[in-house]
């Protein structure tokens, strides 16, 4: 269906009234999201053409879903009146998302088309810190009074519900917008028409403050299986709500951020394919630099053992295997602990349990790998018992140390209020590299009396 529409839009006859009618019919059968995706396939001119064909009812919704590049193309082509119509239809949170991506000149022009009241709301939300509850909330919600009846509530919803982002949770407020309860549409539907909202509302409200971090809010949504959450200011006055669809977006973005930090990247929201070379390089070079300079410590450990290596050059060949295995063993532990902290399974008080666990897991892994490595070295023809013993012992100790470091550092980071995700593979690898070499060379020194 999408392909057919695209070919008509891009064709020569796109302007004729019969093809427009045909397009409108086809578009009406498609989902907003599917229509939005078609814009990715079109050039500048056809983007505007397709957008103008959209039925009024879906145009604003589609606009909220398309890329900011495409939003700008459309805004540049529309008249102020047309922009005003779209802005009037957009939910406040979608309007804010759109405005945040626009250059200053476009923002000015767009805000001019918005009625003063909505403009104030938008400006307010724009001022909340990034990643805070305030910055992702919307202001279109249903509010009710305690002394209203269920029947009145239904009337209220029928009259205003179509412009609300959700009607499935209604918020009960007193004068001064003080939040006192929440009542779900389910409760309303299962209650008698004459019952009072104050009697059926739930006063045990899970809410957020405007400055709460969005990751914490996402955890609460998951924990309490919420569809929406009210946001209040410091005086407990209702200022907005957050809906679960935005939270799913937050969950994906937060996981991406964690993975990027764990991969030694400066996290960024920009989609990879649309980000320029220098921007991508900038997000990578800082950590590479830090880790490169740390790795020179490892180099100087090797240098300090140069004489020993000159006497016994066979030791050199095992260095990559030891460093690599140590790094991977530590990375495994840190991955589990970082994730455990992120999903709330592991907290600061578990530090001793984690370390003790990692020491024992390290011993089991070290023993298994030690035996297999011993066999491999022997089968490949190495017969010097001291060399085999040195490598096997060093491997065993390295794995235990790596696992202990990998388990401990993320918790330490949490303790000193750094993001534990920083203590992932790259940092652990660098830390373990130096340690494993020191262990290796120390054992060699003792066994070979170097």
Between 226 and 245, how does the x/- string for binding to its own copies read (CB under 8 A)? xx----------------xx
As measured in angstroms, the least distance from the Cβ of 111 to its own copies is 26
As measured in angstroms, the least distance from the Cβ of 238 to its own copies is 19
At residue 63's C-alpha, the angle toward residues 59 and 67, to 5°, is 150
CA 254 to chain centre: 2
Q: Give the HSE-up count for residue 351: Cα atoms under 13 Å, Cβ half-sphere.
A: 11
Q: Given the complex with its own copies, which of 78 and 206 has the nearer CB atom?
A: 206
At residue 223's C-alpha, the angle toward residues 355 and 240, to 5°, is 125
The whole-angstrom separation of Cα 445 and Cα 311 is 11
Q: Given the complex with its own copies, which of 49 and 70 has the nearer CB atom?
A: 70
- Considering only residues 12 to 71 of the shown chain, the ones binding its own copies according to CB under 8 A are 29-31, 33
Q: Given the complex with its own copies, which of 14 and 226 has the nearer CB atom?
A: 226
Between 338 and 377, how does the x/- string for binding to its own copies read (CB under 8 A)? xxx--x-xx---x--xx--x--xx--xx--xx--xx--x-
The answer to whether residues 388 and 382 touch, using CB atoms and an 8 Å cutoff, is yes
Selected from 82, 146, 195, 260, the binder of its own copies by CB under 8 A is: 260
Beta bridge partners of 143: 171
**421: Cβ contacts below 8 Å, ≥ 6 apart:** 257, 258, 261, 262, 338, 342, 410
- Considering only residues 267 to 326 of the shown chain, the ones binding its own copies according to CB under 8 A are 271-273, 277-278, 280-281, 284-285, 287-289, 291-293, 295-296, 298-300, 302-303, 306, 309-310, 313-314, 316-321, 323-325
- Considering only residues 375 to 394 of the shown chain, the ones binding its own copies according to CB under 8 A are 376
At residue 155's C-alpha, the angle toward residues 151 and 159, to 5°, is 170
As measured in angstroms, the least distance from the Cβ of 395 to its own copies is 8
Size of the site for its own copies (CB under 8 A): 112
Selected from 57, 204, 235, 416, the binder of its own copies by CB under 8 A is: 204
- Considering only residues 144 to 163 of the shown chain, the ones binding its own copies according to CB under 8 A are 154, 157-158, 161-162
At residue 289's C-alpha, the angle toward residues 287 and 293, to 5°, is 120
Q: Is 440 in the site for its own copies (CB under 8 A)?
A: no
As measured in angstroms, the least distance from the Cβ of 401 to its own copies is 14
As measured in angstroms, the least distance from the Cβ of 134 to its own copies is 21
Selected from 9, 53, 229, 336, the binder of its own copies by CB under 8 A is: 336
Selected from 185, 197, 201, 232, the binder of its own copies by CB under 8 A is: 185
The answer to whether residues 386 and 394 touch, using CB atoms and an 8 Å cutoff, is no
- Considering only residues 81 to 120 of the shown chain, the ones binding its own copies according to CB under 8 A are none
The whole-angstrom separation of Cα 241 and Cα 320 is 54
**Alpha carbon of 388 to those of 96, 348, 379, 437: distances in Å?**
65, 40, 11, 16
Q: Given the complex with its own copies, which of 103 and 313 has the nearer CB atom?
A: 313
Q: Given the complex with its own copies, which of 285 and 446 has the nearer CB atom?
A: 285
Q: 151-173 burial by CB neighbour count: b if 16+ within 10 A, else e? A: ebbbebbeeeeeebbbbebbbbb
Q: Is 167 in the site for its own copies (CB under 8 A)?
A: yes
Could you tell me where the DSSP H helices lie in 44-192? 44-53, 56-65, 68-77, 80-89, 92-101, 104-112, 116-126, 133-136, 150-160, 185-190
Q: Given the complex with its own copies, which of 135 and 398 has the nearer CB atom?
A: 398
SS3 state of residue 147: coil
Selected from 46, 124, 328, 442, the binder of its own copies by CB under 8 A is: 328
Applying CB under 8 A, which part among 12-20, 75-83, 120-128, 254-262 lies near its own copies?
A: 254-262
Selection from 405, 131, 419 nearest residue 261 by Cα: 419
As measured in angstroms, the least distance from the Cβ of 357 to its own copies is 7
DSSP state of 139: S
Applying CB under 8 A, which part among 8-16, 72-80, 132-140, 264-272 lies near its own copies?
A: 264-272
The answer to whether residues 84 and 95 touch, using CB atoms and an 8 Å cutoff, is no
Selected from 126, 265, 351, 450, the binder of its own copies by CB under 8 A is: 265
Q: Given the complex with its own copies, which of 212 and 257 has the nearer CB atom?
A: 257
Selected from 71, 334, 390, 392, the binder of its own copies by CB under 8 A is: 334
238-243 and 228-232 beta bridge pairing:
antiparallel
Burial tier of 283 (Cβ tally within 10 Å: 0-12, 13-18, 19+)? middle
């Amino acid at each position: 269906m999408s392909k057919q529409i695209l070919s008509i839009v891009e064709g020569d006859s796109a302007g004729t009234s019969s093809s427009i009618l045909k397009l409108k019919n086809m578009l009406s059968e498609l989902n907003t999201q599917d229509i939005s995706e078609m814009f990715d396939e079109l050039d500048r001119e056809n983007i505007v053409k397709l957008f103008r064909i959209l039925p009024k009812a879906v145009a604003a919704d589609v606009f909220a879903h398309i890329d900011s590049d495409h939003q700008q193309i459309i805004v540049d082509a529309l008249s102020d009146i047309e922009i005003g119509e779209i802005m009037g239809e957009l939910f406040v949170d979608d309007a804010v998302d759109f405005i945040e991506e626009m250059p200053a000149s476009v923002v000015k022009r767009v805000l001019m088309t918005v009625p003063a009241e909505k403009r104030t709301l938008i400006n307010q939300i724009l001022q909340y810190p990034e990643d805070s509850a305030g910055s992702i909330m919307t202001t279109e919600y249903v509010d009710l009074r305690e002394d209203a009846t269920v029947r009145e509530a239904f009337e209220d919803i029928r009259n205003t519900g179509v412009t609300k982002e959700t009607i499935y949770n209604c918020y009960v407020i007193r004068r001064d917008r003080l939040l006192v309860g929440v009542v779900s549409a389910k409760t309303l539907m299962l209650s008698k028409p004459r019952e009072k909202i104050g009697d059926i509302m739930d006063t045990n409200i899970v809410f957020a403050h405007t400055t709460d971090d969005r990751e914490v809010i996402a955890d609460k949504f998951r924990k309490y299986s919420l569809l929406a959450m009210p946001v209040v200011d410091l005086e407990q006055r209702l200022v907005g709500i957050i809906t679960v669809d935005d939270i799913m977006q937050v969950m994906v973005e937060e996981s991406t951020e964690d993975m990027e930090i764990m991969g030694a990247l400066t996290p960024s929201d920009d989609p990879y394919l649309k980000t320029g070379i220098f921007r991508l390089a900038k997000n990578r070079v800082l950590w590479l630099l830090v880790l490169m300079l740390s790795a020179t410590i490892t180099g100087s450990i090797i240098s300090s053992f140069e004489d020993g290596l000159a006497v016994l050059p066979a030791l050199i060949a095992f260095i990559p295997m030891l460093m690599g295995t140590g790094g991977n063993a530590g990375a495994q532990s840190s991955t589990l602990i970082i994730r455990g902290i992120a999903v709330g399974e592991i907290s600061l008080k578990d530090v001793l349990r984690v370390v003790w666990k990692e020491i024992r897991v390290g011993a089991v892994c070290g023993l298994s790998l030690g035996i297999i490595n011993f066999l491999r070295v022997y089968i490949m023809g190495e017969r010097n018992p001291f060399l085999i013993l040195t490598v096997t012992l060093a491997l065993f100790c390295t794995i235990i140390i790596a696992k202990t470091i990998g388990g401990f550092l993320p918790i330490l980071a949490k303790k000193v209020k750094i993001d534990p995700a920083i203590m992932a593979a790259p940092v652990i690898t660098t830390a373990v590299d130096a340690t494993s070499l020191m262990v290796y060379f120390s054992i060699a020194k003792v066994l070979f009396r170097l």
